[in-house]
Amino acid sequence: MAYGADQLQEMPARHGGDLGIEAFTFSGHAFQCYAAEEPASVADRYENQRDKLTRDMRKLITKKKEFEKLLGNVKLNCYFFLVPYFDSKELVLHAQQKATEYLGTNLSFLDGDFRVRVVTDAAFKEARSALLSRPKELISVPPVTEDGLRDWLDENTEMRQTVERKLSPLFPVASQRERYVGEVISHYLDSENYLQKLRERYPDQWEDASRTKSRTERRLNMEYLSSGEPHTGRLIVQIVRDLETKLSQGVPILDGDAATALAWGAIGDWLIRCPLDFDGAGV
């Protein structure tokens, strides 16, 4: 989004490696991305990032012939080392040293003003904001199957009974309550699977979603359970709709279906863990 499809060439790595860069532009920018294994201390993170930058930049020399064929008339003027975050000035100093070092190699595809920059996605704020403001399906997670739901209910008898007890004032008819419990637990399992995938692929968005959910959880009693309104099934729907809105505002990249799934999943989570309880007198 920052450079345009006609200017950016991505570099697949599956067949013979990626030459130490993820992509380059015809205006002379090369990109290498790296996420150090976390959690890590500041010193360990710096060393991992430093060593990765050193290894990949070395390919500019060891893969010189391939770079000459790849770039043609393009001269690299900036090598971006893109990381989730960095917290050591030593990494910036190392990047500057590498820029000076490689300028001295007289590589034909390096510009005379060649430099190395350590950046995060904050360097592309406008493109990032545009991307995050476009709701789309980030992750596709298959819904839990009937067998999977049945297995969970059989293996977690105490949790199931807790949910049934809490919902009994709202759904006094056993068959109706049983069906509702199954739906709530299904949403809960779908939500947990979604959050796990979100954490693996989009940790920032996972953190925003988790924070939004936690804030709502802390206010459950004050905003809903102690409001004086009768506790009915409609109260659950109200909580879900409000949380949907908060998730959509707090994590704009989430599509509507994901926000709905996470909101209903939160109901199941809160019923299991006890932040959500009812003392009403039926629907």
For residues 43-56, average pLDDT = 96
pLDDT top residue among 144 and 283: 144
For residues 64-70, average pLDDT = 95
Per-residue pLDDT tens digits for 79-94: 999 999 899 999 999 9
Q: Report whether pLDDT(281) > 50.
A: no
Q: How far, CA to CA in Å, does 278 sit from each of 163, 229, 231, 235?
A: 11, 11, 6, 10
pTM flag (> 0.75): no
Q: How far, CA to CA in Å, does 10 sit from each of 30, 46, 125, 131, 188?
A: 10, 26, 20, 18, 38
The confidence score (pLDDT) of residue 158 equals: 92
**The token pair that represents 48 in the structure block:** 């991992």
Q: Report whether pLDDT(138) > 80.
A: no
20 Cβ contact list (under 8 Å, min separation 6): 32, 55, 56, 57, 58, 59, 60, 63
Give percent above pLDDT 90 in the chain. 54
Q: Report whether pLDDT(135) > 60.
A: no
Q: How many CB atoms lie within 10 A of CB 62?
A: 11
The confidence score (pLDDT) of residue 283 equals: 35
* Confidence category of residue 137, pLDDT binned at 50, 70, 90: low
Per-residue pLDDT tens digits for 205-238: 899 999 999 988 888 877 777 655 556 668 888 8
Q: Are 185 and 163 in contact (CB under 8 A)?
A: yes
Q: In the block, which residue shows the tokens 């709530």?
A: 184
Q: What are the sequence ranges of the domains in the chain?
A: 8-132, 146-273
101 Cβ contact list (under 8 Å, min separation 6): none
254: which DSSP letter?
A: B
Dist. CA 282–CA 202, nearest whole Å: 41
Per-residue pLDDT tens digits for 101-130: 999 998 999 999 999 999 999 999 988 887
Q: Report whether pLDDT(133) > 80.
A: no
For residues 65-77, average pLDDT = 95
The confidence score (pLDDT) of residue 14 equals: 66
The confidence score (pLDDT) of residue 280 equals: 45
* Confidence category of residue 168, pLDDT binned at 50, 70, 90: confident
The confidence score (pLDDT) of residue 171 equals: 83
The confidence score (pLDDT) of residue 229 equals: 58
Widest CA span of the chain, in angstroms?
Answer: 81
Q: In the block, which residue shows the tokens 């890590």?
A: 40
